[in-house]
Amino acid sequence: MKKTSIFSIAAVALGLVGATFMSACNQPASKKASDSTSPSVENAASVDEEFVAYVNADSLSAKYEYFKDVREKLEAKIKKAQNDLQSKGQAFQREINEYQQKAHTMSADERQKTEERLARKQDELGQLDQNTSMSLAQDESTEMDKIYTSITEFLEKYAKEKDYKLVLTYSKANPTVLYIDPSFDITNQVIDELNTEYKKNKDKESKK
């Protein structure tokens, strides 16, 4: 069984805010320039900078408690599935060894029936392996969708509160942003508030 790529979480969920996440805030109407003056490019840039922020995806994947819980849950599922398949595979190998040891004492009809049974069992194990891999991949996809939704919904609210018009994401694995002033980094604030919100929701679920 191929190991499900749970560590693609950082890339998938943290494609999180994808390349960029545009908040739902409406841009304030620009002032009409007077006939005699017009804002310079420099002034426009300095104003816009105040509405831009970024989140470090690597830090988010390492410190967001929801992400860590999902990773642990998926790892446990993968380990259990691998152990189950390994156990079945070892039992099947023992049957093959037993057949090989006894084959010379069997009649042609017995050998044929045994080989057909072992062939069917091999096919069943192969199908189980494939189905398990597909199931784990689906579980991962579902969990990643939930993480993505939790992050984007939170950032939409956060951006409105802080009046951000654009929230970027940065990751060493996918450096779409090559450099940005550290003063625009809101990663720690976002992680703290995400974890607070997640803990509240987790406590509510545990009391049900």
Q: Give the DSSP per-residue string, the chain.
A: -PPP-GGGHHHHTTGGG-SEEE-SPPPPPPPPPPSS----HHHHHHHHHTTEEEEEHHHHHHH-HHHHHHHHHHHHHHHHHHHHHHHHHHHHHHHHHHHHHHGGGS-HHHHHHHHHHHHHHHHHHHHHHHHHHHHHHHHHHHHHHHHHHHHHHHHHHHHHHHT-SEEEEE-SSS-S-----GGGB-HHHHHHHHHHHHHHHHHHHHT-
Tokens standing for residue 175: 């450096």
What average pLDDT score do residues 141-156 get? 94
- Summarised one tens digit per residue, pLDDT across range 72-123 is 999 999 999 999 999 999 999 999 999 999 999 999 999 999 999 999 999 9
Beta strands at 166-170 and 52-56: parallel, antiparallel or unpaired: parallel
Q: Which has the closest alpha carbon to 125: 94, 84, 75?
A: 84
Instruction: Quote the mean pLDDT of the chain.
Output: 80
CA distance 176 to 173: 9
Helices (runs of H) and strands (runs of E) counted in the chain? 6, 3
Q: Which range (30-34, 174-178, 200-204) has the least confidence?
A: 30-34
Please return the burial class of 163, using the count of CB atoms within 10 Å of its CB with bins 0-12, 13-18 and 19+.
exposed
CATH superfamily of 52-206: Skp domain (3.30.910.20)
Give the pLDDT confidence score for residue 11 in this predicted structure.
Answer: 35
pTM value? Answer: 0.68
- The answer, yes or no, to whether residue 42 has pLDDT greater than 90, is no
